[in-house]
Each structure stands twice: as structure tokens, then as C-alpha cells.
Amino acid sequence: MACTETDTKEHIFKIAAQLFAEKGFNGVSMRELSEQSGVSKPTIYYYFGSKEGIYRALLEAGIEHTQADVARIRALNLSVHDELVVIIKEKFRDCREYPEFSKFFISVHMSIEKLTFINDFKQRSDEPMMKLEQLLQRGVESGEFRSDIDIKMAADLLGSTILFHIWRLMESKAANDSDQLAEKIVDTLCNGLRK
Amino acid sequence: MACTETDTKEHIFKIAAQLFAEKGFNGVSMRELSEQSGVSKPTIYYYFGSKEGIYRALLEAGIEHTQADVARIRALNLSVHDELVVIIKEKFRDCREYPEFSKFFISVHMSIEKLTFINDFKQRSDEPMMKLEQLLQRGVESGEFRSDIDIKMAADLLGSTILFHIWRLMESKAANDSDQLAEKIVDTLCNGLRK
DNA sequence: AGATGTATACCGAACGGTAGGTAAGGTTCT
DNA sequence: AGAACCTTACCTACCGTTCGGTATACATCT
């Protein structure tokens, strides 16, 4: 989750993530970004070309990071229940490790602000939900879950709850026990409410 | 879900909801709003005082509407399972009946865009989640649900999924069978996944 | 060693354009 | 006449972006 370039560029990158996350694309001005990062406006243009350029760079970095995460966890070959727990734990860990970037991604994902240039990102952001469905399907096939469950619905429940908790985690800087939280989420869904 | 004033005001109100929902507060200009609603800029200022004024008016109208909904449903005295289903159905119905306003509210609720003047709205928007917790608590007390369930977690699962589905409903104008969807959501949570 | 050339990293000032907002003045209705 | 409603014309502040430059550093030629 980095920019792999000079210090200055990386610094701008990080501040941009913070500002965009807080105020959205249209809420941040280049002047503000330049003041907050302590460089001149032209310097930002030197590195990123345009306002849109910074935003896109942030998106790209995030997508790459997420894809790597998912592949690594899949390779561990856990039970579905455990893989779900690990996926959620890993998401929460990212939030602690890269709060600015995590906050930025969740804001992009949530915001309705229609920015024409993030359409393909939004499309790619459906992939995690598909992965969840595949995972649950595997749970049914292996006998871990009942075969009468509605996989799409369960994936929605899970996916939206993960988003929601990341969002809440990012808003209130509370030092939650996020590992326990991850287990609770999965258990609550797996066990249901009924007697 | 109305403005209870003149036609012109109501018309501006509706267009504003559409635009804010699509582009966020900072993404909409007063010029655009005036062009789209077919009145001059000063007319908008005549009715709403400021850009912030329109936004606030939309928020107020929405809060009132939601509170009325919840109270009415509570008075029906249903089982917890059924009350949950009805609440969700009612939300979905609103989305069909007042798509502009529903889309606006969901966008406010979801977006991280920090607009200082909507802080008290965001605070009040926690109330529905609290209502859900109370409802689930009632379910435990009446014996409808197991006593070992994590109420907060279940409320989060449910609340975030409702938000998510409304959001999805609003994005893809698909004519979903939302009544069936409401039942599926509640059933999936109530019955769990495990064998 | 010193002069010259060139690339990188940055900045102050200014561009055309648009933002939110208003002053002043017509209509229309009562 | 006066209140309610709505417009044209205009304001200032700020927007994203670019221009024209500077400082440094390293390579090349003499």
C-alpha cells in the first residue's frame, strides 16, 4: 500500500487519501491539498498530472493490495468458516495499518458521488462479493453449511456487514477488539437467531 | 415526504434531492440546480436561503417521515420476525414511491463526505439501529430467539444489509420483488447457515 | 579541472472559468 | 398599495490548471 516513488510523492499520496476520504473528490481543492502536504500546487501536478490522476493512483494501489490479500488467504486452505474469519480479520488489520488508505477506499465504495472515471473501479469492487458467494458455495458443497440456504442473500449479509464495520471502525477511532469482532460476525450468521 | 409549500418550492425540492443524491453536496452547483429545475438562482435562494438550507430541509423532511413509519409499524403489534419483515418491506416501498428522496437519504447515510452541518443528522441516524436492537431484545425476551445470541451483532448484520439492499435497489433500477427480498433477509439471519 | 548540457524536482504568479450569493427591479395577486 | 414571487445582471472568491522560471545534480566534452 504505497506509491513506490520519492518521499514527496508518497507524502502527497497519503495526505490526498486522508482528504479525499473525509471530503470526497469534489470537496477537496488542489490548494488545500498543496497546503496540507506542504508542497506547491505545481509539484502535485508534476507527480500526478491532474486532480483525477491522484484519485486514480489511489484506486489502483488499493485494488492491487486487495487482490493480493485475497489470493494469499485462499492459499491457506482453511475451512469456509475459518477462511471467512481470516478474511475479515485481515480487512480489519489493514484498517489499523493503513488507516488513511482504508478510509479512502471505504469512502469510494460507499459514496454515491458519481465520478465518471471511477466506474470501472466500482465494477471491480463487486468482485469481493462474488468471492464471498463462491466461498459460501464451497461451504454448501463440503457439507459445512445446509443446502437450503440462500447463498446470494448470505453473501450480501456478510459483505454489507463487513463494509459497515470497517466504516464504523474508521469513523470512531475506537480501539476495538477487531479479531473477536470478526469471529462474532461469522458466528452470528452461521448459527442464526432461532431456537 | 413533501415540502408542504408551493409548487415551485416542491419542484426545486425534488430536483435538489435527485442532484444531491447523484453527485453529493459539493458536486452540485446552484447554477445546475436552477437550470434543472427551470427557475432562476435567486428563486432558490428566496425559498431556501442557501445551498445548505436546501440540504437541511431535505434531511428534516426525511427524518420526520422515517419516524412516522417506525411508530406506525410498532403499533401493529406483530411478532419480532414479522415486524422486521414489515419494516424492511416498508423501506423498500418508500424506495419505489419516492425514489429521489430515498436515494438522497441513502447517499447521505452512506457517504463519508464530512459536511459539518449534517452531524446531528448522522447522530439521529443511529436511532434506527437502536430500534433494531430493542426489537431483537424483545425477541429474546419473548422466547422467539435464543438467549445466547449477540444482539448488537445481529442488529448490525440486519441494519447494514438493509442499507446495502436499498442502496443496490437505488443504483440498479431493477424492478426487484422487494417483498420477497425482505422475507429472505430476515429468514437467512433467523435460521443461520449451519446444519 | 572547468565549461557545457540536460534531467529532475520544485515554486510563484497568473489564466480562464465557475462557485455561492445578492442588489434592484418587474409581475401578479389580494 | 403592498405582499409574494421571480428575473436579469452582477459581485467576489476560489477553482483546476498552466506558464515561466529556478536550484540542484549528474554526465559529457575540452
Q: How many Å apart are B43 CA and C27 C1'? A: 14
Residues of chain B with Cβ-Cβ distance to A190 below 8 Å are: 192-194
CB contact under 8 A, A26 and B21: no
pLDDT at B173 over 60: no
First-to-final CA distance of chain B: 44
- HEC letters along A89-111: HHHHHHHHHCHHHHHHHHHHHHC
Grid look-up 468482485 returns: A127
| Complex-level ipTM | 0.80
pLDDT, tens digit only, all 195 positions of chain A: 554 467 899 999 999 999 998 888 999 999 999 999 999 999 999 999 999 999 999 998 998 898 899 899 999 999 999 999 999 999 999 999 998 899 898 888 877 677 878 877 777 777 888 999 999 999 999 999 999 999 999 999 999 999 888 888 887 755 678 899 999 999 999 988 776
What does the DSSP 8-state code read for residue B194?
Answer: B
Question: Residue B98 region, left (φ>0) first, then alpha (ψ -120 to 50), else beta?
Answer: beta
Residues in chain B: 195
Q: What are the backbone angles phi and psi of residue B40, rounded to the nearest 5°?
A: -80, 160
Beta bridge partners of residue B194, listed in sequence order: A145
- Nucleotide with minimal C1' distance from the CA of B30 is C20
Q: How many Å apart are B26 CA and C29 C1'? A: 38
Q: Which residue has the higher pLDDT, A128 or B78?
A: B78
CATH of domain B7-191: 1.10.357.10
* Residues in CB range of B20: below 8 A, 6 or more apart: B28, B55, B58, B104, B107
What the block records as the C-alpha cell of B73 is 409499524
Does residue B45 approach strand C to less than 7 Å at its CB? yes
First-to-final CA distance of chain A: 45
Does residue A36 approach strand C to less than 7 Å at its CB? no
What the block records as the C-alpha cell of B10 is 416542491
Q: Of B12, B14, B13, B20, which Cα lies nearest the Cα of B37?
A: B12
Residue B5 is predicted with a pLDDT of 60
CA distances in angstroms from A70 to A67, A97, A104, B8, B170, listed in the order given:
5, 17, 19, 52, 29
Q: How many Å apart are B54 CA and D2 C1'? A: 28
HSE-CB for B187 with a 13 A CA cutoff: 11
Torsion of CA A57, A58, A63, A64, to 10 degrees: 70
Least confident segment among B25-39, B44-58, B161-175: B161-175
Beta bridge partners of residue A194, listed in sequence order: B145
Contact positions of strand D to protein Cβ (< 7 A): 5-10, 14-20
Domain boundaries, chain B: 7-191
Closest protein CA to C1' of nucleotide D5, residue = B43
What the block records as the C-alpha cell of A84 is 471467512
Q: How many Å apart are B42 CA and D6 C1'? A: 8
Residue B50 forms contact with A (CB below 8 Å): no
Residues of chain B with Cβ-Cβ distance to A100 below 8 Å are: none
| Alpha carbon distance B195, B179 (integer Å) | 27
Residues 157-186 of B with CB under 8 A from A: 157, 159-161, 163-165, 184-185
| Alpha carbon distance A98, A102 (integer Å) | 6
Beta bridge partners of residue A60, listed in sequence order: none
What the block records as the C-alpha cell of A169 is 471502525
| Alpha carbon distance A146, B112 (integer Å) | 37
Q: Do residues B27 and A114 lie in contact, with contact meaning Cβ atoms separated by under 8 Å?
A: yes
Residue B118 is predicted with a pLDDT of 79
The C-alpha of B134 sits at a distance from chain A's nearest C-alpha, in angstroms, of 15
Chain A residue with CA closest to B194: the answer is A145
Question: Residue A104 region, left (φ>0) first, then alpha (ψ -120 to 50), else beta?
Answer: alpha
Torsion of CA A109, A113, A115, A116, to 10 degrees: 90
What the block records as the C-alpha cell of B147 is 438467549
* Residues in CB range of B156: below 8 A, 6 or more apart: A161, A164, A165, A185, B129
The C-alpha of B162 sits at a distance from chain A's nearest C-alpha, in angstroms, of 9
Grid look-up 418550492 returns: B9
Residue B3 is predicted with a pLDDT of 47
| Alpha carbon distance A158, B154 (integer Å) | 11
